[in-house]
Amino acid sequence: MANQEDSKLDTHSAVYYHWRVWELTGLMRPPGVSSLRYVVYSITVNLVVTVLFPLSLLARLLFTTNMAGLCENLTITITDIVANLKFANVYMVRKQLHEIRSLLRLMDARARMVGDPGEISALRKEVNIAQGNFRTFASIFVFGTIMSCVRVVVRPDRELLYPAWFGVDWMHSTRNYVLINIYQLFGLIVQAIQNCASDSYPPAFLCLLTGHMRALELRVRRIGCRTEKSYKGQSYEAWREEVYQELIECIRDLARVHRLREIIQRVLSVACMAQFVCSAAVQCTVAMHFLYMADDHDHTAMIISIVFFSAVTLEVFVICYFGDRMRTQSEALCDAFYDCNWVEQLPKFKRELLFTLARTQRPSLIYAGNYIALSLETFEQVMRFTYSVFTLLLRAK
């Protein structure tokens, strides 16, 4: 039964939902679908939604004349434009995404060959966490979409799902009003699906990297462990030679982990940097909106401001948390090489171990824009910056 379970190990399933979303929204052509047909489908969907939807928001922003409305529209527009840029970035790194899938197959095959229950469990745990994150983000986006629809329905006067400009009179034309709301609802659903995948794939890839680091850590810690099975039918020297080969295999596994980290760095760099920029811009805009709305005692606008502030802050926290978690695991992997039974081993074993330790001294980190480390320390700095800006705006009010 254990062998059957091990044979089903597929860590790439951590991004199964994301891959389906990318196929549905025109980024990844599914197997068996005509190339020409999929290109036409992809261009149509992305032109109608990914391009026109944010343009309608931007056009409305340009026609806004009061400060409170400007802050409200700017918050929505910035969030949507950055979300679309992150979505477009997936298309730009699709080659690396396919490379990650191929590399994960090799690493999964190695884990199945080793067959250690602890390693398999660690990998499955990370897959479950990644899929759970996607479902959590999906629930949030579904709730937000439903609330937007409810808000339009319960309003006594006509209002769109989102403030946007379409160049037609929808206030006095029922047909235009219905058509625009149908388009906005369709665009909102597609954008929600896109954003759900864009916001949850960085932590998913960080989970995959953490899981394979954990599996390798357990593998390295077992090197040289003396058991009855170790000596059965072997001389002491033959056993030491076998342990040396185990180390060499683990060093090759470490090279694959480092390669996976390098590819994930290229995939996440732009997306995470865009998220940091979006978070800073939205937090500052929300602070302005909150202060202006506080003067008018507009509690609905204040709640919307708090929701947007919390959303962008949560997105930054998630990637920083999983980045910090991966860094902690990389330090544990380095410690594992110290903890293996190296004392009894051959001189060539100790030489290879020293070289490996020299290469693993620095903990692994993923950087947004190749500059900002994804760690809880970074999140703390972001929150301090936000507090400083809010305090400055409060004093200047």
Lowest mean pLDDT among 2-6, 98-102, 288-292: 2-6
Lowest mean pLDDT among 152-156, 232-236, 360-364: 232-236
Residue 345 lies in a domain: yes
Alpha-carbon distance of 123 to 117, in angstroms, equals 10
Q: Give residue 95's pLDDT.
A: 92
Q: Give residue 2's pLDDT.
A: 47
Quote the distance between the C-alpha of residue 169 and its chain's center. Answer: 40
Residue 4 lies in a domain: no
Residue 1 lies in a domain: no
Tokens (6 digits) for 287 = 């602070």
Residue 365 lies in a domain: yes
Q: Count CB atoms within 10 A of the CB of residue 138.
A: 17
Q: Count CB atoms within 10 A of the CB of residue 90.
A: 21
In angstroms, the Cα distances linking 179 to 48, 144, 170, 315 are 14, 21, 9, 33
Alpha-carbon distance of 302 to 289, in angstroms, equals 8
Residue 108 lies in a domain: yes
**DSSP code at position 223:** T
In angstroms, the Cα distances linking 57 to 140, 194, 346 are 22, 17, 68
Residue 3 lies in a domain: no
Q: Name the residue range of residue 237's domain.
A: 11-396
Name the domain count of the chain: 1
Would you place residue 17 in the very low, low, confident or very high pLDDT band (cuts 50, 70, 90)?
very high
Would you place residue 97 in the very low, low, confident or very high pLDDT band (cuts 50, 70, 90)?
very high
Q: What is the pLDDT of residues 299-349, one digit of tens each?
A: 555 666 677 777 888 889 999 999 999 999 999 999 999 888 888 888 999
Q: What is the pLDDT of residues 277-294, one digit of tens each?
A: 888 888 777 777 776 665
15: CB partners within 8 A, 6+ apart: 130, 201, 204, 205, 208
Residue 210 or 370, more confident:
210
Residue 6 or 115, more confident:
115
The answer, yes or no, to whether residue 272 has pLDDT greater than 50, is yes
Tokens (6 digits) for 242 = 């076998």
Residue 2 lies in a domain: no
The answer, yes or no, to whether residue 3 has pLDDT greater than 60, is no
Alpha-carbon distance of 383 to 98, in angstroms, equals 35
The dihedral over CA atoms of 362, 365, 370, 376, expressed in degrees to the nearest 10, equals -120
| DSSP one-letter string for 4-51 | HHHHT--GGGGGHHHHHHHHHTTSSPPTTS-HHHHHHHHHHHIIIIII
HSE-CB of 232 using CA atoms within 13 angstroms: 4
Residue 325 lies in a domain: yes
Could you tell me where the beta strands, DSSP code E, fall in the chain? 367-368, 372-373
Would you place residue 68 in the very low, low, confident or very high pLDDT band (cuts 50, 70, 90)?
low
